[in-house]
Amino acid sequence: MNAENVLDVAMTAYWHSDPADVSVNAICQLAGVSKPSLYREFGSEDGLSRAVLDHYAQRVLSDVFAILQGGNGLQDTLDALIDFASSDLRMETGCLFYKMRAGKHRLGPLTLARVDEIDAMAHAAYSAFLRSFRDGEDWAPGLSVEAAAKYLSEQFALAITQRASGENPSRVREMMTLSLSVLLRT
């Protein structure tokens, strides 16, 4: 049965297209697993997609959290985020988390709850990151840390979503650089 392999296959399928467009049947076929086996392991489609989201979080999102918590300077960290969104090969087809978040209303309760948890963790991480630079020499805005955190996270999501829709990566980089420039003193 190999649950790990199922998670990998499902993650790739959900990620490359869209969670709402990949049926349980398709995942069973792709993973070479019978439907009852899958249901014994994950309970429901909701359970599967929650497990897939957890898998994705520890395989991909952790890298973003690592960037935010890396202890580097404001400018360098923002540059790293821009790099990740516009150049990391894994983001070529977008971010599974953002795809799930964008289609929230189609998710089951388990997956929805995880999405909200991760969203809250991300917001906390962005806030902590920005707070450590407020009143520093690079910090520009008269914005609250909360507002800047939301702004940063949404611009990050926008850049990745644009990339998923086929936008030229260097154009994405250009636009994200522009949008984040307001956070820095020139």
Partner DNA sequence: GATATAAAATACCGCACGGTATCAAAATGA
Partner DNA sequence: TCATTTTGATACCGTGCGGTATTTTATATC
Stretch that binds DNA, among 20-28, 138-146, 150-158, 169-177 (CB under 7 A): 20-28
- Report the Cα–Cα distance between both ends of the chain, in Å, rounded: 56
Stretch that binds DNA, among 28-36, 57-65, 96-104, 148-156 (CB under 7 A): 28-36
Cα–Cα separations (whole angstroms), residue 98 to 56, 65, 81, 87, 154 = 11, 15, 15, 17, 10
Query: Distance between CA 20 and CA 45 in Å, rounded?
Result: 11
* Smallest distance from a second copy to CB 147, Å: 6
* C-beta separation of 164 from 101 below 8 A: no
Stretch that binds DNA, among 24-32, 54-62, 143-151, 168-176 (CB under 7 A): 24-32
Residue 70 phi, psi dihedral angles, 5° rounding: -75, -10
Q: Which helix (H) or strand (E) holds 46?
A: helix 45-56
Query: Distance between CA 81 and CA 157 in Å, rounded?
Result: 11
Q: Is 35 in the site for a second copy (CB under 8 A)?
A: no
Binds DNA (CB under 7 A): choice among 35, 104, 134, 171? 35
Query: Of residues 126-185, which lie at the interface with a second copy (CB under 8 A)?
Result: 141, 143, 147, 150-151, 154-155, 158, 162, 165, 171, 174-175, 178-179, 181-182
Q: Is 46 in the site for DNA (CB under 7 A)?
A: yes
The residues of the shown chain that bind a second copy, judged by CB under 8 A, are 17-18, 20-21, 102, 104-106, 141, 143, 147, 150-151, 154-155, 158, 162, 165, 171, 174-175, 178-179, 181-182
